[in-house]
Amino acid sequence: MTDGVVFIDKAAGVTSRSIDNQIQKRFANRKVGHLGTLDPFATGLLILAVGKATKFLPYIDDSKKSYLASLTLGIHSSTGDPEGILTKSEGPVPELTDQKIANVLKTFLGKSQQIPPMTSAIKQDGTALYTLAHEGETVERTPRPIEVFDISLLHHEGDHFDFVCTVSKGTYIRVLGEDIAKALGSVGYLTALRRLSIGPWQLRHAHKLEALDEHCFIDPTVMVTGMKHQELDDEQAKKAKNGVLLELDPSLGPKVLVVQHTVAIAVYRQESGNHYVSERGLF
């Protein structure tokens, strides 16, 4: 049985959940989860946790994500991607230049509000939006705050161009692509999408699913970068394993990962002063 985190370079045409299922079977471990679902048409970095490592998923930094996206103008997709019903625009696509595209892309930098697509997994009154969409329903969705930290043109040819972007967690690149097309005076949809990074973790460290083995797994302790790590002595470690309150240096911050011999035991949360209470055991 394997416990740990692994970076997968997801192929197109498969769901993120199906990757989980394959990992479950291959490594005989029912506990498998991933960080940040990729649509079937999308490729790139998928972070998976197996066994006890699934407990670490909420503490892995996924606040920023980077993508390479391909956008085609002049055609509308009912889902914003190749899986939807495609309808050609009645009017011609405005003449595009690299400078015009680059200037429009810059207008998307910063914070804004984005309406999630009906094909998303966000729940409305307990039902996922994609379920409602499959039943032919369209409901009002509450706009969500997003931020585009960086966006730039990579390549342009005719009515098609590629761009790279770094965005906040929860940003739908399909919707961003549609909004970019609209700002250019047309309609458009993503023909391809590749995730390049999640937080500090890069696609270049990922493995193809077929090449994956037990040597590809890493200790999830090193994945917790959003809080300080505090080494405990034997007495403190015993308390932490039993969820007992710990007295720690307040300068450690509101949350701390307590470890012994660099192996994670638990996440502790500051209650007041130097009093820290157990939030979640990780062993």
At 24, which helix (H) or strand (E)? helix 16-26
Amino acid sitting at position 279: E
Alpha helices (H) along 96-244: 98-106, 129-134, 173-183, 234-241
Phi, psi for residue 24 in degrees, rounded to 5: -55, -45
Three-class DSSP category at 178: helix
Strand order in the sheet with 255-260: 228-231, 255-260, 263-272, 275-281, 246-247
Can you tell me the distance from the alpha carbon of 86 to that of 76, in angstroms, rounded to the nearest whole number? 6
Under DSSP, the state recorded for 92 is: P
Per-position DSSP letters for 139-170, written without gaps between them: -----EEEEEEEEEEEEEETTEEEEEEEEETT
Q: Tokens 């490594």 — which residue? A: 27
- Active-site choice (9, 20, 39, 179): 39
C-beta atoms surrounding 39 within 10 Å: 22
Nearest to 193 by CA among 166, 164, 152, 153: 164
Can you tell me the distance from the alpha carbon of 38 to that of 42, in angstroms, rounded to the nearest whole number? 6
Catalytic (active site) residue 39 = yes
Task: Give catalytic residues, as residue numbers.
Answer: 39
